Structure 1
């Protein structure tokens, strides 16, 4: 009797814990707007209230987050998945910038670099976000650029800056002072003890205000002249990429030591692509193409379909060991095979995403220990081909770096961990008409080089290229090429209808966190807010996409409340553990309740991410 009572009490406590969240679910029936800053979520709500659809609102939130430097700026990059309710299809927006024409392997190696730098003008790809906004508005939105940019323009004239960004500016002020235009914008109190703005201070960006107003003026003049909405948007696009704004971007980048040419901006184009997709237990999951890391989540799901995860139990030692190794297998393939599909060689995506290949990879998972030397597989036979890079695979033994047992495990101030988590915010939007938008924009985070008198902060994404084909023959730097990035919006359909739209802030941890979030909902029946707040694990076995591209095989971050018996079990299996209060970047998501015709919004219980529903 006592044992039965104990079991009942234990189950009840677990159930109570599972039901309790620090933030409530956001409910709505007309629309949902979630993003990285409360003011930016308000910009989305304002746009919905003006009659815009989810695409209009998402663009307004994106513009606002760029203006607020929420780990991105206007010179960064944008990746989006959009569900089209009339066509009942998911489309992918590729608004990633490219390497400028002077960016070659020989140039960077000739300057003594093993990788393009983390910061500065030589880290910048061409700006992509503004082109992404224009393309999304023109193809899927309903509103004018003037209406969509109105909140961002008002913010550029001065908004009360939040503590997170203000303190980030202050802590990076020495780096910011290397670039004259950045110093002028970010450090309004030069010479004082605190040179950055303080929390709540009005942060004014006059140059950015003028740039955004020029773009709106171009559109409005075109409309007055009788141009169509799309034609007017295109003229604003042209002014940014070929007109006076482009000229100032290029002039100032060259002045500060960068490689941009006018032709680089003029030649660049947004691409509307077909996303990659797999089916997991009846749910169609969509990610961007292999110029992002998104397919690694799809590969992980294919591998994990071969295991009974629910029977293992949420965050049991067996479950953690299984998903860790599944991610290691998928990300090892990411590190070697992913790259811009517009360039040769072509990534073997048919083989990588095949269920047969996943079954073979799943056989490599060891139940009783972590396999620290997992490497990329050979997907070519699974698409009827022969691997042209087999000789490189055989030479990868010494590429991975290893944790030394006597060294301390990662801390929050560890430079490697800081690099691993770099960049990205998220935008989630949905409306009653059926439009759904998931975006992970990034690039131009503080400290950023500002492009002259435009007020536009430049991307730092060049660092995600490699300069040696033995690391990844598909991601070697070339002019005009997009780097293989970590940015990875997510969407899932069930029975042909939207099921889940989700994304997370962070670098190489993004698809790790999103994988676990998805499994929390699908395997462990958590609601969207519970899944967003739930404890994650993070692996560092894959190569970082930033800095020196290090890896730490066997290293794992666990939530600090992980039970001692799980810790002891994982230690026996060879894991080197550290423990943190928060084990995920802020996750934002929308779940679709078709029974009641409503939206459920979730947003992590840390960071400044915020959602509004109606």
Structure 2
């Protein structure tokens, strides 16, 4: 019987996880190996020094743990100064930098729940950085489409525009400086005379306090950045409880309100309250109902959700049955272009403007091992909107793009405050047994893509492959998570192969429709790993560059 399953955003990530599982590692070892590798082989979408939110299930104890995997703003961050100098939106470049969290998040997961060393799990990442890997079409297209942005900063252009030109599909993409960074971490671990956890701590210190940290902070000091040695040395990943939601007989665990996990939880809870006939009727999704639910969830996100340390309400208030029933009661037979609440909304209803490019950055890794341990992580942070730190190969987390530089705004930047993250991995149990790891890139499309896959599986009875392949829709009737936070009231995007009768129904109900191409990367890139009594299944979305694998230990 096939008894482990892996799906990741790139073939080399999947290969790294598979190697670890075949060598006797657990889901956490495999997931961290894949996640670190993805930071190397998807450098347009993910950074080794980016974010890495993680959710894990321990089969031995039944415990579910989340790690936020996102750093706060540096101590020098000043919203009044940022607003004075740059207006309402945090500008591209060094000033977007928050404390890099991914290395600490990977190492904490390994130390607390894994069995292997950093050197064990870093093999594919180091090799891909040092020797290079083959450029795949989506990477080539992404860099070419953002050529001007990559060309702004010499240290960034040197890597992403070698010889002044974007790499072409089939070229070998080498990152010698990034290999140096990973080598520093492995060397520190190797030199440590303590046990496995001591070695992992030494690898972490090489990044946050040693030679890597020195290069990062010296560059910030010389170029007007905010990060300091104190910021890096003081960083700690937070482990926090999950938000478990009972949904169609499964228990879906979401991350907290420091990311869209609370929005995923609210979406699931609202649809569950509405009942089994609300979202899936006559053998297909009721897209009008689903879109209206999502619009309300995102209105609530804008009005209430930020770093939980700064929220005015407890996050669980958004899951209260009475609150959800009230939200559902506001859904009518026709489209509500921009549902309340929304005192902070500033609609930008320019219907003639071309629609913005979808959110490409981010990737995902899902793993279930033979013991039933689950690992689900959504690492992220692109390279086109920040400056590579010379000598390190690192695009240090530019997640500050999700904060506002508006004094008094709910999501205004502040020292130590976490930007409200879009990546939000989930996992699910059935009858108390491990069932699924799930996640996707796509920014504000993440919640939307995942809920459609879950509804196809649980209400529609589709296979995992068909549920992931089914055409998707997405609303954009809310302020976008990324600067400049545009609002597109009533706007719905749909993949061109959507059933024409569903398109006609949405049009008749007053939705403002625009077609995506079929099977577009803009609709997400689901990575799904499942386990039941018959074995395991893994699916990586054909919309992006992911791959999946299953097999015996």
Shorter-normalised TM range: over 0.9
Give the Cα separation in 1 of the matches to 2:405 and 2:163: 40
Counterpart of 2:368 in 1: which secondary structure? strand
Match of 1:610 among 535, 547, 551: 547
Give the Cα separation in 2 of the matches to 1:364 and 1:218: 58
1:36 to 2:9 alignment: yes
Deviations along 1:8-66, whole A, 9 cap, x unmatched? xxxxxxxxxxxxxxxxxxxx723222111112211111222222111111111111110
1:592 to 2:531 alignment: yes
1:242 to 2:209 alignment: yes
Residue of structure 1 in register with 2:325 after alignment: 359
Give the Cα separation in 2 of the matches to 1:610 and 1:287: 24
Give the Cα separation in 2 of the matches to 1:142 and 1:107: 46
Q: Is the Cα contact below 8 Å between 1:74 and 1:444 reproduced in 2?
A: no
1:137 to 2:110 alignment: yes
TM-score (norm 1): 0.85
Give the Cα separation in 2 of the matches to 1:372 and 1:356: 24
Give the Cα separation in 1 of the matches to 2:212 and 2:498: 52
Give the Cα separation in 2 of the matches to 1:36 and 1:373: 33
Q: Is the Cα contact below 8 Å between 2:52 and 2:378 reproduced in 1?
A: yes
1:438 to 2:376 alignment: yes
Residue of structure 2 in register with 1:257 after alignment: 224
For residue 106 of structure 1, report the CA deviation from its aligned partner: 1.0
Equivalent runs, 1:170-181 vs 2, <5 Å:
170-181=144-155
Residue of structure 2 in register with 1:216 after alignment: 186
Unmatched segments (≥5 aa) in structure 2: none
For residue 422 of structure 1, report the CA deviation from its aligned partner: 4.1
Q: 1:373 to 1:183 in 2, by over 3 A?
A: closer
Q: Is the Cα contact below 8 Å between 2:361 and 2:443 reproduced in 1?
A: yes
Residue of structure 1 in register with 2:302 after alignment: 335
Deviations along 1:243-268, whole A, 9 cap, x unmatched? 22111111113333321111111111
For residue 447 of structure 1, report the CA deviation from its aligned partner: 5.2
Counterpart of 1:433 in 2: which secondary structure? coil
Give the Cα separation in 1 of the matches to 2:176 and 2:280: 58
Deviations along 1:289-321, whole A, 9 cap, x unmatched? 1010121122122222214136623545xx111
TM-score (norm 2): 0.94
Match of 2:59 among 85, 94, 97: 85
Give the Cα separation in 1 of the matches to 2:246 and 2:197: 36
Equivalent runs, 1:297-336 vs 2, <5 Å:
297-305=264-272, 306-307=274-275, 308-309=277-278, 312-315=281-284, 319-336=286-303
1:401 to 2:374 alignment: no
Give the Cα separation in 1 of the matches to 2:548 and 2:500: 35
Give the Cα separation in 2 of the matches to 1:560 and 1:229: 51
For residue 186 of structure 1, report the CA deviation from its aligned partner: 2.2
Moved more, 280-289 or 138-147: 280-289
Q: Is the Cα contact below 8 Å between 1:168 and 1:446 reproduced in 2?
A: no
For residue 350 of structure 1, report the CA deviation from its aligned partner: 2.3
1:276 to 2:243 alignment: yes
For residue 489 of structure 1, report the CA deviation from its aligned partner: 0.4
Q: Is the Cα contact below 8 Å between 1:424 and 1:506 reproduced in 2?
A: yes
Give the Cα separation in 2 of the matches to 1:547 and 1:311: 34
Q: 1:428 to 1:274 in 2, by over 3 A?
A: same
Residue of structure 2 in register with 1:200 after alignment: 170
Residue of structure 2 in register with 1:537 after alignment: 473
For residue 339 of structure 1, report the CA deviation from its aligned partner: 1.2
Give the Cα separation in 1 of the matches to 2:280 and 2:302: 31
Equivalent runs, 1:549-564 vs 2, <5 Å:
549-564=485-500
Residue of structure 2 in register with 1:20 after alignment: none
Residue of structure 1 in register with 2:45 after alignment: 71
Unmatched segments (≥5 aa) in structure 1: 1-27, 377-392
Give the RMSD, CA atoms, in angstroms.
1.9
For residue 547 of structure 1, report the CA deviation from its aligned partner: 2.1
For residue 536 of structure 1, report the CA deviation from its aligned partner: 1.3
Counterpart of 2:122 in 1: which secondary structure? helix
Give the Cα separation in 1 of the matches to 2:490 and 2:125: 44
Give the Cα separation in 2 of the matches to 1:130 and 1:514: 26
Q: 1:197 to 1:281 in 2, by over 3 A?
A: closer
Q: Is the Cα contact below 8 Å between 1:309 and 1:523 reproduced in 2?
A: no
Give the Cα separation in 2 of the matches to 1:601 and 1:81: 18
Give the Cα separation in 2 of the matches to 1:582 and 1:116: 32
Aligned length, in residue pairs: 544
Deviations along 1:534-572, whole A, 9 cap, x unmatched? 111100012101121111121111222334443333223
Q: Is the Cα contact below 8 Å between 1:423 and 1:445 reproduced in 2?
A: no
Which has the larger Rg? Answer: 1
Deviations along 1:507-543, whole A, 9 cap, x unmatched? 1010011111111111001111111101111000121
Give the Cα separation in 2 of the matches to 1:538 and 1:218: 46
Q: Is the Cα contact below 8 Å between 2:388 and 2:395 reproduced in 1?
A: yes
Give the Cα separation in 2 of the matches to 1:158 and 1:168: 22
